[in-house]
Structure 1
Amino acid sequence: MDWQPVYAEALDIFVRYLQIDTSNPPGREAPAARFLGSLLEAEGIECEYIEIQPEREAVVARIRGDGSKRPLMLCNHTDVVPVESQYWTYPAFEGHVEDSRVYGRGAVDMKGCGVMQLMTFLQLWRNKVPLTRDVVFLAVPDEEAGSVWGMEWLCKNRPDLMDVEFELSEGGGGASSFAGQPTRLFSVATNEKEVCWLKLTAVGTPGHGSRPHEDNSAVRLMEALLKLHAMERPFTWTPDTTAYAKNLADAGLLPAFDDRASIEAHIRKSPELLAMFTNTLNITMLNSGIKANVIPAKSEAVIDCRLLPGQTKEAWIEHLRNVINDENVEIELYLQDQGANEPVEWDTELYRTIHAVITDAMEDAIVTPTMTVGGTDNRFLRTQGIPAYGFIPCLLSREERAGFHGNDEFLTLDNLNMGTELMYEIVHRFCT
């Protein structure tokens, strides 16, 4: 295949896709679904638009195989997190291209991967590739706000769409460095931490700002948050992270695998790695006070916790209550149900195909299972017994990885091209 025209088309689509503001909240992802659908319909591919809420749609399309094997789903989300535009060098919804980088909110999370999947789907269709299984393209809303009006809704209300053998989405991917060492490390996400967003509410006695007293809700909240920030969190091994560490140790990127103490010490130097081995907690939202001269009666905070497999929200909340040890500070779930998670096996046909395609393309590549520290829509399929893998097939730099929910998010043209080609090779090899 001549990839140069494909690369050029992918870039054009990518830029236009980034220009659609799908910040969530509020969502309003329907224009993005219609944009992707229009590209498919222009090729004669039938699409279904599923309205979940007003202005919030999913789009699904299917290329039929011969039915000898069950379908593969390519899934991506159309929404993005909001931006603080004053901190961006270029407008976040312009799709600005400069120095071989494409800037825009969603470039790495996950409109870039969505374009890779779309181009794969289009090439299979245009080339009339004989398939042994159906390939399903699904673009969904609301992943960034818990998936209630996205994948969770679809699993409950459109179970017919979930009649697939495997799913491929975000969560894992490639990295061009590890702990400062250049490498070609490709991680396939087979598990993820459980999302646990919590709200802390501190109550106190209101009063005039000119007359301090000892029952200020803002002070109570601050003291509680400082205790949580400082608390120890145990280092825990899971099957996924054990396999990950062993593969990296075998490749010389970590100390010898039988020296667990040295491995732990090495991992503790990197917050990005440490998050795979501990429960995490981040203070993300604060709300207190109604006026500069009024002592607030109530102060609130939202904290983003991510729990390791095998740990429950109930036990975690009770642990945090004991750490805070203040009956005037209450903890409750900020979002009631964000989906449980089940690990999936990595000794499967799809995982082996990913491994083979990557190592055929790059002999020195390291391919390993991993656990995603963030939440993805994969968890809803995994709980239904569907092996759902997270994998974006390109080599993100540390700077690109910092773009996930960060400022000046970008994807390089090299990575867009690499991902477009490798995604096609994986799906083509797996489905023919």
Structure 2
Amino acid sequence: MRALFLTAALFASTAAQAQYVSQQPGEAQFRALFKEMVETDTSVTTGSCTAAAEKLAVRFKAAGFGDSDITQFSVPEFPKDGGIVVHLKGSDDGKKGGVKPMLLLGHLDVVAAKPEDWTRSPFTLIEEGGYFYGRGTFDDKAQASIWADLLIRMKAGKAPKRTIKLALTCGEETTYAFNGADWLAKNRPELIMAEFALNEGGGGRNGPDGKPQGLAVQVGEKTVQNFWIEATNPGGHSSVPRPDNAITDLTAAVVAVNRHEFPVQFTDTTRTYFTTLAKVMPNPVGPAMARLLTNPNDAEANRIVSMDPTNHSVLRTTCVTTLLEAGHAENALAQRARANVNCRMFPGTDPNALKADLEKVIANAKVNVSLKPPIRPVAKPTPMNPAIIGPMTSVAARHFPGVPMLAIMSTGATDAIYITPIGIPVYGAPGTMIDADGNGIHGLNERISVRSLMQGRDYLSDLVMVLANPK
């Protein structure tokens, strides 16, 4: 799931971009791979990630990868939710003091699409008006295809210093589906263990004129955790109301949770983010950001900065009610009322500690708070590693001259939440540009511009080559 928010004031003006010409070889082969991926339905309702993984395995074997280099996996309970891991062995592999592997992470599954609602068939790749249309063209089959294409091309050349591991998994888009990244981390961590990983979540943004406004590297993200808050009552006939009422108790709890402001927190990433913005944002926002960095308890500075919904979420844990259930009959007092509270936890937040916080906020013993499965790992802050961020910036200067880059912490979540707890810092790579309207991701008529896809392929290919061959 992609989540990219770039501040318009920072990226208001950029240099004009000439007509883009692809720099990487094998464009026809890449287009064929991308077409095959998009036209393989991998939605949880009607598709199969296992089928997509099998098609990729055929391509990898044809490129010269051996059986020992390719691992296809699934579980009996979810046979259609399989994935694939591929290793490209590096020249330093096994050497004493050699560089450690790197991991390329992506997901094969897509959000479900109802063909009758789309202007074009969602599972047919259509090129029209400078765009590729189809479900997953942006999220996440663009990057998954770029990674797969790159390893296939690299196999024919000189081995990189690092071993490069590719993991394309299923389940990222659906909360209760089998999640391949989670399964690998828990059951086969040796297949993906690496010094660092490149993932979705970064990218960049185009302006209304189609020119790049800014690039972003995602360095850390929140963890999603849902809670049930529930009130119960003996109920009775609605003609004889009683002073205690399940709906009333729940309503008061919902209001208390929705109005509660969690304290301001910073990671290295968000501190860098707000330090950069403080220098370019107008008064009073810029100065307020500077004050808040100095004193997170500055209430007035917090109020000013938090007027922007994105900044508000980047600064703290947030919890909001998203679902309500109550009552069983029009003429009866509710015996049960409950709500789903969706929390986006700041890195390092323990879900059990947050449960205790919600109980204090609600302050009503008649309302029970419980963690709603799945209970995800505690997110670890990702370090602002110059050995990773530096090459991202220098390679971007060649591919996107004059376009600024900003490190961001996502307020959403990707499969990085399963990978970071086993000791692999994950970075959402920049390079693939999204339009201001969001390109229909998760919605109707999803698309990616041909230019964005090909330029992203060029940038990410060069970036991986640099990172895989450290000096």
1:71 to 97, 101, 107: 101
Shift of 1:222: 4.1
Percent of counterpart pairs with the same letter?
A: 25
Are 1:100 and 2:133 an aligned pair?
A: no
Unaligned runs of 5+ residues in structure 1 are none
Alpha-carbon separation, structure 1, partners of 2:58 and 2:468: 25
Are 1:316 and 2:358 an aligned pair?
A: no
- Secondary structure of the residue that 1:107 maps to in structure 2? coil
TM-score (norm 1): 0.85
Q: Partner residue of 1:255?
A: 286
- Secondary structure of the residue that 1:55 maps to in structure 2? strand
1:18 to 38, 53, 70: 38
Alpha-carbon separation, structure 2, partners of 1:264 and 1:354: 31
Contact 1:168 1:391 in 2 (8 A): yes
Q: Partner residue of 2:4?
A: none
Q: How do residues 368-379 of structure 1 correspond to structure 2 at under 5 angstroms? A: 368-379=406-417
- Secondary structure of the residue that 1:13 maps to in structure 2? helix
Alpha-carbon separation, structure 2, partners of 1:431 and 1:392: 17
Unaligned runs of 5+ residues in structure 2 are 1-20, 93-97, 293-297
Alpha-carbon separation, structure 2, partners of 1:112 and 1:210: 60
Alpha-carbon separation, structure 2, partners of 1:81 and 1:219: 36
Alpha-carbon separation, structure 1, partners of 2:213 and 2:334: 52
Q: Which moved more, 1:311-320 or 1:131-140?
A: 311-320
Contact 1:281 1:306 in 2 (8 A): yes
Letter in 2 for 1:242: R
Q: Partner residue of 1:326?
A: 364
The verdict on how the C-alpha distance between 1:207 and 1:410 changes in structure 2, with shifts beyond 3 A counting, is farther
Q: Partner residue of 2:183?
A: 153
Are 1:111 and 2:136 an aligned pair?
A: no
Shift of 1:129: 3.4
Residue-pair matches, total: 428
Show CA shifts across 1:374-427 (max 9, x none).
2222233322332321114222223127x4544443322222112111110101
Alpha-carbon separation, structure 2, partners of 1:263 and 1:174: 28
Alpha-carbon separation, structure 2, partners of 1:210 and 1:27: 51
Shift of 1:119: 2.1
TM-score (norm 2): 0.78
Alpha-carbon separation, structure 1, partners of 2:248 and 2:114: 28
Q: Partner residue of 1:57?
A: 82
Alpha-carbon separation, structure 2, partners of 1:12 and 1:69: 33
Q: Which moved more, 1:69-78 or 1:373-382?
A: 373-382
Alpha-carbon separation, structure 2, partners of 1:97 and 1:201: 50
Q: Partner residue of 1:385?
A: 423
Shift of 1:249: 4.0
Shift of 1:96: 4.6
The verdict on how the C-alpha distance between 1:42 and 1:208 changes in structure 2, with shifts beyond 3 A counting, is farther
Contact 1:151 1:380 in 2 (8 A): yes
- Secondary structure of the residue that 1:58 maps to in structure 2? strand
Letter in 1 for 2:344: R
Aligned-residue CA RMSD in angstroms? Answer: 3.5
Letter in 1 for 2:449: T
Alpha-carbon separation, structure 1, partners of 2:116 and 2:324: 20
Are 1:39 and 2:59 an aligned pair?
A: yes
Letter in 2 for 1:166: F
Shift of 1:236: 3.2
Alpha-carbon separation, structure 2, partners of 1:337 and 1:104: 32
Alpha-carbon separation, structure 2, partners of 1:364 and 1:113: 24
Alpha-carbon separation, structure 2, partners of 1:140 and 1:306: 23
- Secondary structure of the residue that 1:398 maps to in structure 2? coil
Shift of 1:143: 2.5
- Secondary structure of the residue that 1:137 maps to in structure 2? strand
Contact 2:206 2:434 in 1 (8 A): yes
Letter in 2 for 1:35: K
Q: Partner residue of 1:409?
A: 446
Letter in 2 for 1:57: G
Show CA shifts across 1:160-189 (max 9, x none).
2133222111222222369xxx86332222
Q: Partner residue of 1:427?
A: 464
Alpha-carbon separation, structure 1, partners of 2:327 and 2:148: 47
Alpha-carbon separation, structure 2, partners of 1:22 and 1:296: 41
Contact 2:181 2:418 in 1 (8 A): yes
Alpha-carbon separation, structure 1, partners of 2:121 and 2:326: 31
Are 1:140 and 2:165 an aligned pair?
A: no
Q: Which moved more, 1:204-213 or 1:52-61?
A: 204-213
1:231 to 250, 257, 260: 260
Contact 1:52 1:149 in 2 (8 A): no
Q: Partner residue of 2:150?
A: 120
Alpha-carbon separation, structure 2, partners of 1:174 and 1:406: 19
Contact 2:268 2:383 in 1 (8 A): no
- Secondary structure of the residue that 1:32 maps to in structure 2? helix
Show CA shifts across 1:350-390 (max 9, x none).
32211111122223222233212122222333223323211
The verdict on how the C-alpha distance between 1:119 and 1:251 changes in structure 2, with shifts beyond 3 A counting, is farther
Shift of 1:349: 2.3
Shift of 1:139: 0.7
- Secondary structure of the residue that 1:20 maps to in structure 2? coil
Contact 1:340 1:380 in 2 (8 A): no
Contact 2:33 2:149 in 1 (8 A): no
Alpha-carbon separation, structure 2, partners of 1:350 and 1:137: 18
Shift of 1:205: 4.1
Alpha-carbon separation, structure 2, partners of 1:147 and 1:385: 24
Letter in 2 for 1:143: E
Alpha-carbon separation, structure 1, partners of 2:376 and 2:217: 22
Are 1:184 and 2:204 an aligned pair?
A: no
- Secondary structure of the residue that 1:302 maps to in structure 2? strand
The verdict on how the C-alpha distance between 1:12 and 1:202 changes in structure 2, with shifts beyond 3 A counting, is farther
- Secondary structure of the residue that 1:306 maps to in structure 2? strand
2:403 to 365, 368, 371: 365
The verdict on how the C-alpha distance between 1:295 and 1:41 changes in structure 2, with shifts beyond 3 A counting, is farther
- Secondary structure of the residue that 1:109 maps to in structure 2? coil
2:336 to 274, 291, 298: 298
Alpha-carbon separation, structure 1, partners of 2:346 and 2:368: 23
Contact 2:348 2:378 in 1 (8 A): no
Letter in 2 for 1:153: W
